[in-house]
Amino acid sequence: MVIEKPGLETVWQWLSAVPDPEIPVISLTDLGIIRDVQWQGDTLEVTVTPTYSGCPATSIINLDIETALRGHGIENLTLKRQLSPAWTSDWLTQSGKAKLEEYGIAPPQPAGGPKHCPRCKSTAVERISQFGSTPCKAQWRCQDCLEPFDYFKCI
Amino acid sequence: MNTPLFEFLCRMGDNTLVLGHRVSEWCGVAPVLEEDIALANTALDLIGQTQLWLGMAGEVEGKGRDADKLAFHRDVWDFRNALLCEQPNGDFGQTMMRQFLFDTWHLIMLKALADSSNDQIAAIAEKSVKEVTYHQERSADTVIGLGDGTEESHMRMQRALDKLWPFVGELFIGDDVDDAMVEQGIAPDPAALRTRFDNQLDAALAEATLTKPADDFAHKGGKTGARHTEHLGHMLTQMQWLQRAYPDASW
């Protein structure tokens, strides 16, 4: 029997369909945490970097990657953790940022705060706390529509 | 005899473990919701960093101990955290003063470790710097806000500083382990970090209208494990309870 090795582009496509467990509106590839996919002989090696070192989603993400790839018939699989270069919110894709905004989470900005309220688009916003419901988010509030909202932290 | 590298990694990992556990004691009981969430997030980052440091310590030791074994199966005298980290939470002001003193040292230390000759240590430091930058920004802001706040909050922050100050000096006192790390280019000489620490501290305390105690007496014995304060043992009875009652229980 000949084992078919799917092309790397196909594998990337499969991974782009795996949602982030905490923010399911974006995928793992949108988040930019999958750093490399390589065949090492008959084994598929996927390199993943954590967003925050204590993020509880990290082990779920690894499980989701494994489940998805096994579902596509990959039998020999290893997941490699890579710390350096450390994950940065700059690795979020453009489409990932747009999906966050649509979902109600202000995407990260180089200036360090949200561009505008993700609901009413007002630029009058204030920070409530640098920390939020998950390690990657901060709490902000719109001074016009008065709604609190999540901001995806810039790191 | 443990190798100096193992000792050094335990010092880094036990600092984040013990302080992380202390900070987590606030979960659900902090003064306001935002602070509760911020404290829980800080604890989570510190415990995440612990897994990296103690995980590496276990690999270096090569006796099959992982981060969990080191965290839950050692007793007080095996812990290598600085005394500052194990001090009780006290009131919210005292917790934030302890955090500010630790974060300020921690960030300077991690930035130096990012240039370590050991690639794995440099990678852990590079990752941690991003998280600790947020911790330090928040703890400094809070110390300034409460120090330069009401008469009551000012009094409590000064009291916290006076109480915790004797535990700061230990962070900058080197020993044989540190000498070995300096020699191998792995970590900086602790004393060399003092000037940067003092400059940042003085600037923040001036804004906070707080006065640094004149006496620089420093308690020692945490990072060597020779003489922890009585508080660590009590903390471990809580932190390690499950593994003591049901050894090797897992989820």
- B122 touching A (Cβ < 8 Å): yes
Closest C-alpha among A3, A5, A16 to residue A40: A5
pLDDT of residue B250: 85
- Strand segments, DSSP code E, in B44-86 are none
* pLDDT tens digit sequence for B91-139: 999 999 999 999 999 999 999 999 999 999 999 999 999 999 999 999 9
Rounded (5°) CA angle A45-A48-A51: 175
Nearest residue in chain B measured CA to CA from A88: B130
- B220 touching A (Cβ < 8 Å): no
Rounded (5°) CA angle A46-A51-A56: 95
- B24 touching A (Cβ < 8 Å): no
pLDDT of residue A4: 76
- A39 touching B (Cβ < 8 Å): no
Instruction: Please check whether residue A62 is in contact with residue A51, taking contact to mean a CB–CB distance below 8 angstroms.
Output: no
Contact criterion met (CB < 8 Å) for B49 and A85: no
Tokens of A127: 């920070």
Answer yes or no: is pLDDT of B7 > 60.
Answer: yes
Residue A2 pLDDT level (bands cut at 50, 70, 90): low
Residues of A in contact with B41 (CB under 8 A): 131-132, 135
**Chain A closest-CA separation from residue B235 CA (Å):** 21
User: What mean pLDDT do residues B129-154 have?
Assistant: 97
pLDDT of residue A112: 82
- The secondary structure of chain A in percent helix, strand, coil, rounded to multiples of 5, reads 25, 25, 50
Residue B248 pLDDT level (bands cut at 50, 70, 90): confident
- A54 touching B (Cβ < 8 Å): yes
Contact criterion met (CB < 8 Å) for A139 and B126: no
* pLDDT tens digit sequence for B14-33: 999 999 999 999 999 999 99
**Chain A closest-CA separation from residue B124 CA (Å):** 7
Residue A3 pLDDT level (bands cut at 50, 70, 90): low
User: What mean pLDDT do residues A112-138 have?
Assistant: 93
Residue A111 pLDDT level (bands cut at 50, 70, 90): confident
User: What mean pLDDT do residues B154-173 have?
Assistant: 98
Residue B164 bridge partners (DSSP): none
* pLDDT tens digit sequence for B45-68: 999 999 999 999 999 999 999 999
Radius of gyration of chain B (CA): 18
What b/e sequence results for A21-53 when a residue is b if at least 16 CB atoms lie within 10 Å of its CB, and e otherwise? ebbeebbbbbbbbbeebeeeeeebebebbbbbb
A77-81, strands of its sheet edge to edge: A34-40, A43-48, A77-81
* pLDDT tens digit sequence for A24-65: 999 999 999 999 999 999 999 999 999 999 888 888 999 999
Contact criterion met (CB < 8 Å) for B127 and A84: yes
Alpha-carbon span A144 to B224, nearest angstrom: 55
ipTM: 0.89
Contact criterion met (CB < 8 Å) for A131 and B51: no
Residues of A in contact with B121 (CB under 8 A): none
Answer yes or no: is pLDDT of A1 > 60.
Answer: no
DSSP B185-204: TSS--GGGGHHHHHHHHHHH
**Average pLDDT over chain A, rounded to whole?**
93
- What are the structural domains of chain B? 4-245 (1.20.1260.10)
Residues of B in contact with A141 (CB under 8 A): none
Contact criterion met (CB < 8 Å) for B124 and A153: no
* pLDDT tens digit sequence for B166-210: 999 999 999 999 999 999 999 999 999 999 999 999 999 999 999
